[in-house]
A and B are shown apart, each in its own frame.
Chain A
């Protein structure tokens, strides 16, 4: 039996008195890849941010259990230390802090131990090579002056270096050209296959999924998970859009 990693039960989430997620339940087992799709404004990023513990999103009901522990009340750093990760749609720029120094600090915080610098640098170089990143970016300020594609690669670089058990990828493919999507996909595939990580991939498009082995696809409409299917659902949505799910959601709401 697959090892249970994430259990979300009847999650209600509000921002400034407006409820954005209504009774969302989701199970992710170790090593599985889940895709979360939905029209604009459905609440996909809200779910990702809530799972990761963004304090702007208030859980007003339900629970999040990760690796057997109820983490509903934990801060983002505690969740990350337990093995969660979020790749941002718009990564922040931090002048004065290099990518390598940031990663090194994150690794120290995670393990609570000193990091062996030589091994760290070797792994960093290899991972940057995999992602076709200019090695000089490691010593440049975090995300400062990088193109959209390079920023997304830097996020996947962090994913690979930090080796979380579960990663949420929030629109990692948005704004990327075909080559960049291919490179980023290769990085995610590496995480999925060689590092055995579980994924929740939030996406509008299907390009990033072509290289990935998907286990489940979920459709979120107006803050509710309205349908869960297999990997074939991705192609179906690609062809027919979200119309039938939106109609079903509207009908359900009327009842």
Chain B
């Protein structure tokens, strides 16, 4: 059995091999996968954590700012999601996780609560583990939360680490979410995000994908409420024969919504990367603005990069922008560094640090930032 993930919202030439990603031989994963213990620190008053069953999880998702499932129609019409609560990796992956029959972890912030300290959410994957964890983060009306989730294992460990996160931000809610992946070099890693934003809600999403062998990352943010905002920063390192398959969709439905997504990556050796970034202005999104920017530093002739930026418009009064920079270190940068005595190899190392640094510095916890630094020193 294969799982199709990261579908492009609008098909392109099939021969490009970019319309979707495939997780192969998922039968094994389905047979072996189990839940895993997670730890949470910094749960202040107004923030609650508990495990819930499937029915309760579904009730919470059903009460989220309204998402409308859309029929998948191949051909002239866009291929929209068919999920009740849309996610980046998509319906097949959602069904796979549901098939495991695991509890959902629910983190809730009561309306109006604004705890200052971040919640630290840690998942430690042991060697050869095949584990999945799913959670709902529900931030009530006018509440806010800073949440840092990190996934790690021993450096040489291998296995499967699956994450599924659904975020509900009620009107006026704010979530600063950071996800940091520091898994061993043999891991298959999937990280799925779906988010539903009410009016004036604000989602800031930082994601670091630093370890693992084959990585699938998807995010779908439904900006349903007027003036909702979505800001994301993803940075990744892909080495040796590793691969990363990324899809981010900002679906802007409300009026005067804003999205700003940036993607910074480094490809070494014979690494492969596919990125699909979509700004999707739907009917009713008049006055909305969307930006996406991609930078890929390719440190090997054998590395393979595929990029698919996409801006879809059903409204005229919108502004969408895409920018990209892909390739080796530019000659002018090498010369500038050279005039300061910095050779090509050191310049490359500094630029790798810089790419990761743009996201690392946004993570509001010194301990996590330190662990990222140690991980990079150990692995790069």
Partners in one complex: yes
Binding site for B on A (CB under 8 A): 52-56, 75-77, 79-81, 84-86, 88, 91-92, 94-97, 101-102, 105-106, 109-110, 158, 162
Q: Is the CB of A97 within 8 A of B341?
A: no
Q: Is the CB of A91 within 8 A of B336?
A: yes
Closest residue of chain A to B336 (Cβ to Cβ) is: A92
- CB neighbours of A85 from chain B (8 A): 339-340
Within 8 A of A (CB), among B302-346: 331-333, 335-344, 346
Interface of B, helix, strand, loop or mixed by DSSP: helix
A105 to B347 alpha-carbon distance, docked (Å): 9
A81 to B341 alpha-carbon distance, docked (Å): 5
A158 to B340 alpha-carbon distance, docked (Å): 8
Chain B contact patch, size range? 20 to 34
A97 with B357, Cβ < 8 A, contacts A55-B331, A56-B331, A109-B346 known: yes
A97 with B350, Cβ < 8 A, contacts A76-B339, A80-B340, A110-B341 known: yes
- CB of B354 within 8 Å of the partner chain: yes
4 closest cross-chain pairs (CB), A and B: A76-B338, A96-B354, A80-B341, A106-B340
Binding site for A on B (CB under 8 A): 264, 331-333, 335-344, 346, 350-351, 353-358
- CB neighbours of B340 from chain A (8 A): 77, 80, 85, 102, 106, 109, 158, 162
A96 with B355, Cβ < 8 A, contacts A77-B337, A105-B350 known: yes
A130 to B336 alpha-carbon distance, docked (Å): 24
Most buried by A among B335, B336, B341: B341
Give A143 Cβ to nearest chain B Cβ, in Å: 10
- CB neighbours of B342 from chain A (8 A): 77, 80, 105-106, 109
Q: Is the CB of A77 within 8 A of B358?
A: no
Q: Is the CB of B343 within 8 A of A96?
A: no
A97 to B357 alpha-carbon distance, docked (Å): 7
Give B333 Cβ to nearest chain A Cβ, in Å: 6
A76 to B358 alpha-carbon distance, docked (Å): 27
Most buried by A among B336, B339, B358: B339
Give B377 Cβ to nearest chain A Cβ, in Å: 15
Kindly identify which residue among A80, A81, A97 contacts B351, using a CB–CB cutoff of 8 Å. Answer: A97
Q: Is the CB of A97 within 8 A of B339?
A: no
- CB neighbours of B333 from chain A (8 A): 92, 94
Closest residue of chain B to A88 (Cβ to Cβ) is: B336
A92 to B338 alpha-carbon distance, docked (Å): 13
5 further A-B contacts with Cβ under 8 Å, apart from A80-B342, A94-B351, are A52-B339, A75-B338, A92-B336, A96-B354, A105-B346
